[in-house]
């Protein structure tokens, strides 16, 4: 999960690329640029406001509260009722 700029569709700067498993991926890593740290915090605010919870060691990984109550579905999005 990440953010993109609605004006031009480009991804905004984040602390790492997707699926980086170094210390830079942790939510509390402060060695990234101020812009990347701010964008990471903004993503977290947006998702947490909707009931998602972030994993501590992956800034891009969020689970929905109560996810265990929903079945795993392997169908195309356009077939979801």
pTM beyond cutoff 0.75? yes
pLDDT tens, N- to C-terminus, the chain (81 residues): 899 999 999 999 999 987 889 999 999 999 999 999 999 999 999 999 999 999 999 999 999 988 889 888 898 989 887
> Could you give the CA distance from residue 74 to residue 79 in angstroms, rounded to a whole number?
10
Q: How far is CA 25 from the centre of its chain?
A: 11
Q: What is the pLDDT of residue 18?
A: 78
In whole angstroms, give the CA distance from residue 52 to residue 23: 22
Domain chopping of the chain, boundaries:
23-79
DSSP state of 78: G
Q: Tokens for 33?
A: 């640029």
């Amino acid at each position: 999960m990440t953010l993109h700029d609605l004006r031009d569709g480009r991804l905004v700067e984040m602390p790492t690329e997707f699926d980086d498993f170094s210390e830079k991926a942790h939510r509390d890593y402060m060695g990234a640029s101020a812009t990347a740290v701010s964008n990471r915090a903004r993503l977290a605010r947006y998702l947490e406001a909707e009931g998602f919870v972030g994993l501590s060691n992956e800034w891009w990984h969020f689970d929905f509260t109560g996810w265990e109550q929903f079945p795993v579905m392997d169908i195309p999005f356009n077939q979801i009722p």
